[in-house]
Amino acid sequence: MTKVKVAVLGSGNIGTDLLYKLRRSSVLELTAMIGIDPASDGLARAKQLGCATFDTGLNDFLEQQPELAEIIFDATSAKAHIRHAKALRNAGKVAIDLTPAAVGALVVPTVNIQEHLNETNLNLVTCGGQATIPIVHAIQRVAPVEYAEIVATISSKSAGPGTRANIDEFTETTARGIENIGGAKKGKAIIILNPAEPPILMRDTVYALVERERLDRAAITRSIVETVRAIQSYVPGYRLRTEPLFDDNKVTVFLEVEGAGDYLPTYSGNLDIMTAAAVKVAEEIARHRLEGAAIGEEMQS
């Protein structure tokens, strides 16, 4: 076996964008898309790509052809994932949750994926979390972060019904991730929907207050640049807008995220970073499983 089979749950914008990213993976085999709208563009595209499609929801997939996938990407909603999580766990599937439900372990690929390779439910935090938590962590590696605040600004056009319905979950889950993954003692998250035309790219600002005694501007800058390069390996449009700024013990970092344009517009960097991070997490899990299977075969032979 050279690939791990995966399916996408949710045939909206995020789920459809996942289709195209997954088809480029060297270790993941896209087999199915599951939705509830038979007329959705996502299910139509999945069928064109040769995937099995299910338009009556997760339960029918699990009852009819559960063997089609080991890993399921949930691109529905926070409330729906609470139901899905239980069903997927009972079916022995790995759930990668792109909603802010935060049922499972909060994961940011560049920071803590290696700690969660055997988990059965992994949560991708939020788009703002994926963009900014690694920066908080990069600063924390050099100097303890007493307080971190992030402001995520996205185009109003790239905020669909799911994003708008989960604003509270966004702020709460992102703040928790800033603390539990980023390492800040206290975290806060703010999201702004900008209606400007033409639509703006996703822009994020990170403010961090660090211990004065441990402040090393050069080391903090190096750590941030290293982290940005690591994220660019799976989100090419992720970049610093300026060099990190220092004011006494406050560090300010300005970021921009441009989407790859697979299915979503390039201004939808907020959605693109989620799908790209989800694929990265699944690939790390797949490699871990494939390596384990290879070792097992060697021992038997």
Q: Are residues 247 and 282 in the same domain?
A: no
8 plus 72 within the same structural domain: yes
10 Å CB burial of residue 219 (0-12, 13-18, 19+) is middle
pLDDT at 298 over 90: no
Q: Judge if 258 and 166 occupy the same domain.
A: yes
Q: What is the pLDDT of residues 102-147, one digit of tens each?
A: 899 999 999 999 999 999 999 999 999 999 999 999 999 999 999 9
Annotated binding residues, written as ranges, equal: 11-14, 158-166, 270
CATH of the domain at 204: 3.30.360.10
Same structural domain, 96 and 161? no
* Catalytic residue numbers, as ranges: 127
pLDDT attached to residue 1: 59
**Domain residues for 248?**
127-265
pLDDT in tens, 205-260: 999 999 999 999 999 999 999 999 999 999 999 999 999 999 999 999 999 999 99
Q: What would the mean pLDDT of 27-54 be, rounded to a whole number?
A: 98
Mean pLDDT confidence for 29-55: 98
Task: Please check whether residues 134 and 254 belong to one and the same domain.
Answer: yes
Encode pLDDT of 61-114 as tens digits: 999 999 999 999 999 988 999 999 999 999 999 999 999 888 999 999 999 999
Query: Do 102 and 150 reside in the same domain of the chain?
Result: no
Do 33 and 45 lie in one domain? The reply is: yes
Length of the chain: 301
- Under the banding of pLDDT at 50, 70 and 90, the label for residue 2 is confident
Is residue 266 over pLDDT 70? yes
Going by C-beta distance under 8 Å and a sequence separation of 6 or more, which residues neighbour residue 76? 9, 10, 12, 84, 99, 162
